[in-house]
Chains A and B, each alone.
Chain A
Amino acid sequence: MKVKSPLEVYKFLPQTNCGECGFDTCMSFAAQIIDRSVKPTDCPPLVENAKKDKKFEKKLNELISLTSPEILEVEIGVGDNAIKIGGEDVLHRHELTFFNPTAFFFDVYDTMDEEQIHERCSKVVEYRKFYVGDFITLEGIAVRCTSNDPEKFRSVVKKVSEYGKPMVLISMNPECMRAALEEVADQKPLIYAATEKNWKEFLQLALEFKVPVTVRSKDLTILKSLAKTFRENGVRDIVLDPVTEPIGDGLRGTFERVIQLRRTAILGEDKDVAYPIMITPISAWLIEGDEITKGYWETVLASTFIVKYADVMIFKNLEQYTVMPSVILRYNIYTDPRTPVQVEPGLREINNPSPDDPVFVTTNFALTYYTVESDLTSGNIKCWLLVLDTEGLGVEVSVAGGQFTAAKVKDLIKETGIEKKVNHRYLTIPGLAARLQGAIEDETGWTVLVGPMDSGRIKGWLEQQWPPEKKE
């Protein structure tokens, strides 16, 4: 984004404070544009005026170009499942945030047997990983043409499209690609890939079927030339593949190419390379070794480039030891550092507890809270959960840093009125807060039990410890 202050945006707005956009003033709408939570076209008068008057249209377009992200945003797929890639503005997440998480595509190929294709597609569709209060899912399916037979590729791509996920179509053969596009172009797949050899045919395909296209070269001058040629001939949605080399000096070179591309696009303002970047962790399957070696190395490649600028990836391994660390790392890196991940402190009633049920205390760090809450809920544990305001820090860090204290627990007990809701005086603290046991007992007068280190073990712990033996 070329502009940095709301004032620069304000100049372009109607300045009537009409409120049609949902914000009270044009200035606060301008601030939202800088934050990238709204777009210029979310201002109805601006859009209306542009329709009527060429002068206003020019102004709106100028604002759009000033406020559009540094890296082009490309959409793959259609409807509810469509995903956006690219659209980034910064090189380091603390400078603003990263926006569109790296999209993960998992491969099938057209000579794979039908049952296996079905199994893999279903796995992609059904994948769920619970994290911070929600389930993480996978984005799409990449179909490789290994038959070199247009009709075979056409039929397999058609079948895969029925799973409703965004797709990447992979073939260097324009005839095969054409056959597939005739079937599924309306689903807006990303096609892969135009190279120095086949670019004319792929340019034709991208224009004819209006689909996003990947350009591919290890030589960044050729890559840039491909992107520039496609753009100047009318293709907007371009993805850059600087070729993933999985090991050794090749990996070092890949790392260099990716960073140079993104840095030159953002700091060097080179619009000809300001496109999303493709990385193919599946290249790990070219190294020597067996499935676990390759699977592990696939994760190593993915991790490297989730942290450093890849916007879309193609994977092979669908085993959890590859998928889980990759989806979590992606989530972490793309979490907006501007908003603290906290929940409201206070009292939560889990599974309709009675006055006899136990009382637990945890922190208001969103990850800690949701982990504990979901363990209790899905374990069918009836209990009262006190959520302490630790300024969004986890148990271990807040105990060490002084945000989790006996005095604050005492205040929380008072504020929530938990004393009137239960008929006992037993409070269970997290295992990682064990050292506060004595202090909390002194401060509150409650008997403090030390729970397990991980809330996943509360169920087993309760069987042993609840109801507690009365102290004589």
Chain B
Amino acid sequence: MARKFTIEEFFETLKKYNVEELEGVRIEGDLEIEIEPGSGIDANLINAVAMLSNYMQLIQEFGNFLYHANMALSYLQRLSSALGIQMPLVVQPQVQPAVEVKPEKIPEFKIPEKLISAKFEPYKVEYPGKIEEVTLGATRADGGTRETTVTIGGEKSLAFYTFDAMNEYMPAIAIDVFDRKPMLAKAVREHYQDVLEDPAEWAKKAVKEFNADLVTIHLISTDPMLEDTPASEAVKVIEDILQAVKVPLIIGGSGNKEKDPEVLEKAAEVTEGERVMLASATLDMDWERIGNAAKNHGHVILSWTQMDINNQKTLNRYLLKRVGIDRNSLVMDPTTAALGYGLDYAYTNMERIRISGLKGDTDLNFPMSSGTTNAWGAREAWMIDSPIEGDTPWGPRELRGPIWEIVTGMTLALAGVDLFMMMHPGAVAVLKEWMGMLQGIVKESIENVDDWITMEV
């Protein structure tokens, strides 16, 4: 919290919790403490610094074991009770009784006796089109080994406009897994620290602890600029993950234009029958080869373009008409930019695509996927503080990062995204909770919605 504490307040707090000694305290590298000249540095201060460092760690450690509860609110509540330790108590002000005031002379206006009655009649909107339904994953009955499948799409109205038409499927969330240690923001990394070397364990954690509906395995080690793992070698990890988790899989390459077609083709082969999603075919890659790999092995293809509705139309047509992909086997990724870093383009591009699809454009009426993890590229999500002189301080990044991913995801959910690829477990939980409410699944409301007007908080 961006609140300043004196050392005295610190020790008051410590006393309150019967803390006499601090053990095993580690000071994080990025923690910065400013000491004003003349404040008199002594042993007490050093202790206080140690306490601060401990508090930063507390936030992280709480995060590590609290995800079993799938309620986002309880997650947040507990996360912050870690912080709450040093919050000063709020003093309840006294309620003062109402005082009668005699009004002076009031100008006369003609005030009617009754309200003019005016019935509100909502304007109705109906679209001729419908978004295609796409099912990911296959159970034994359908020739696969998954225990659950995920169906997305099927919308007949804008996202969460349940009053226009009830959309049957809620957007799904996949958690990203990498086949080698990737570069991750600290607030994300600390949740996966124990599984970074083991993609199968990573996938398991994503499903069991963080409630992922699907898992995305990114085969980034195949990148010629990194390990250049041969395709046949790289796909072995997929088999481990198929064993480790029973949810549907998304398989991504490294983004290398030359290598990806080969890698994804091999991945399609070894997952025959599982109905995975291959991520992705792009216009500047051999989309025909990747498309054929999906088609020949019964998988779904992700059609990825760079924020251009016309390119999206073109690539979809190629995949549908030239490759012969079934209409129920195509998902689009129109590209996700982070909050503050092009989100306006991403939002409007997706919103236009969705509206076109609903209006009957059969080149665009497919479910959409978002690489929401891109939110972590925003410096506001991970940097220790603003590099700009004159900025109001940014506050603890442990709280900034997840919300950056949440707001990026929410905005694009409102544009019509059906499938999110995410990383921070707190962000996954909050987005799910919020979507569940708008979808009408999470029903519990509160009664006294006027109380904020007079609450003394």
Residues of A within 8 A of B (CB): 92-94, 109, 111-113, 126-131, 135, 144-152, 170-173, 175, 178-179, 196, 199-200, 203-204, 207-208, 218, 220-229, 232-234, 243-252, 255-256, 259-260, 263-264, 267-268, 270, 272-273, 280, 282-283, 285-293, 296-297, 299-300, 303-304, 307-308, 316, 319-322, 324-325, 328-329, 331-333, 335, 337, 367, 371, 374-375, 378-379, 394, 396-397, 400-402, 435, 454, 456
Within 8 A of A (CB), among B139-167: 160-163
Given contacts A204-B106, A248-B444, A319-B395, contact A260 B122 (CB under 8 A): yes
Residues of B within 8 A of A (CB): 1-2, 73-74, 76-77, 79-81, 83-84, 87, 91, 93-99, 101, 103, 106-107, 109-112, 115-123, 125, 160-163, 225, 284, 306-307, 335, 337, 339-344, 347-348, 351-352, 355, 377, 379-380, 383, 386-396, 399-400, 403-404, 406-407, 410-411, 414, 430, 434, 437-440, 442-446, 448-449, 451-457
Given contacts A288-B73, A379-B387, contact A367 B341 (CB under 8 A): yes
Question: Max chain A CB contacts within 10 Å: which of B87, B351, B386?
Answer: B386
CA–CA, A367 and B205, complex, Å: 37
Return the contact of B451 from the options A148, A203, A286, A435 (Cβ within 8 A). Answer: A286
Given contacts A259-B161, A264-B120, A325-B403, contact A375 B387 (CB under 8 A): yes
CA–CA, A252 and B441, complex, Å: 10
Chain A residues lying within 8 Å of B444, measured Cβ to Cβ, are 247-249
Return the contact of A127 from the options B389, B392, B439 (Cβ within 8 A). Answer: B392
Pick 17 A–B contacts, CB within 8 A, sort by A: A92-B351, A93-B344, A128-B390, A179-B101, A203-B111, A248-B442, A283-B452, A285-B457, A286-B449, A287-B73, A288-B77, A293-B76, A320-B2, A325-B380, A329-B407, A332-B343, A367-B340
Contact B438 A264 (CB under 8 A): no
CA–CA, A94 and B345, complex, Å: 10
Could you tell me the distance in whole angstroms from the C-beta of B121 to the nearest C-beta in chain A? 7
Could you tell me the distance in whole angstroms from the C-beta of B258 to the nearest C-beta in chain A? 12
Chain A residues lying within 8 Å of B457, measured Cβ to Cβ, are 285, 316
Return the contact of B455 from the options A207, A249, A285, A396 (Cβ within 8 A). Answer: A285
CA–CA, A267 and B386, complex, Å: 43
Contact B411 A329 (CB under 8 A): yes
Q: Which residue of B lies closest to A148 (CB)?
A: B98
CA–CA, A234 and B110, complex, Å: 10
Chain B residues lying within 8 Å of A290, measured Cβ to Cβ, are 77, 80-81, 84
CA–CA, A454 and B115, complex, Å: 59
Given contacts A130-B390, A251-B445, contact A272 B118 (CB under 8 A): yes
Chain A residues lying within 8 Å of B307, measured Cβ to Cβ, are 397
Q: Which residue of A lies closest to B390 (CB)?
A: A128
Chain A residues lying within 8 Å of B449, measured Cβ to Cβ, are 218, 243-246, 250, 283, 286
Contact B393 A247 (CB under 8 A): no
Contact B394 A324 (CB under 8 A): yes
Contact A252 B411 (CB under 8 A): no
Contact A144 B379 (CB under 8 A): no
Could you tell me the distance in whole angstroms from the C-beta of A450 to the nearest C-beta in chain B? 12
Contact B73 A289 (CB under 8 A): yes
Question: Max chain B CB contacts within 10 Å: which of A129, A270, A371?
Answer: A129
Contact B123 A268 (CB under 8 A): yes
Could you tell me the distance in whole angstroms from the C-beta of B185 to the nearest C-beta in chain A? 11
Could you tell me the distance in whole angstroms from the C-beta of B278 to the nearest C-beta in chain A? 19
Contact B120 A325 (CB under 8 A): no
Chain B residues lying within 8 Å of A247, measured Cβ to Cβ, are 73, 437, 442, 444-446
Chain A residues lying within 8 Å of B445, measured Cβ to Cβ, are 245, 247-251
Given contacts A94-B348, A319-B395, contact A264 B387 (CB under 8 A): no
Contact A170 B306 (CB under 8 A): no
CA–CA, A78 and B21, complex, Å: 56
Contact A148 B453 (CB under 8 A): no
Contact B73 A267 (CB under 8 A): no
Could you tell me the distance in whole angstroms from the C-beta of B375 to the nearest C-beta in chain A? 10
Chain B residues lying within 8 Å of A112, measured Cβ to Cβ, are 93, 456
Question: Max chain B CB contacts within 10 Å: which of A146, A228, A435?
Answer: A146
CA–CA, A151 and B426, complex, Å: 45
Given contacts A321-B396, A378-B389, A435-B225, contact A144 B454 (CB under 8 A): yes
Chain A residues lying within 8 Å of B403, measured Cβ to Cβ, are 296, 299, 321-322, 325
Could you tell me the distance in whole angstroms from the C-beta of B194 to the nearest C-beta in chain A? 25
Given contacts A260-B163, A290-B77, A320-B2, contact A111 B344 (CB under 8 A): no
Given contacts A94-B351, A287-B446, A303-B410, contact A394 B342 (CB under 8 A): yes
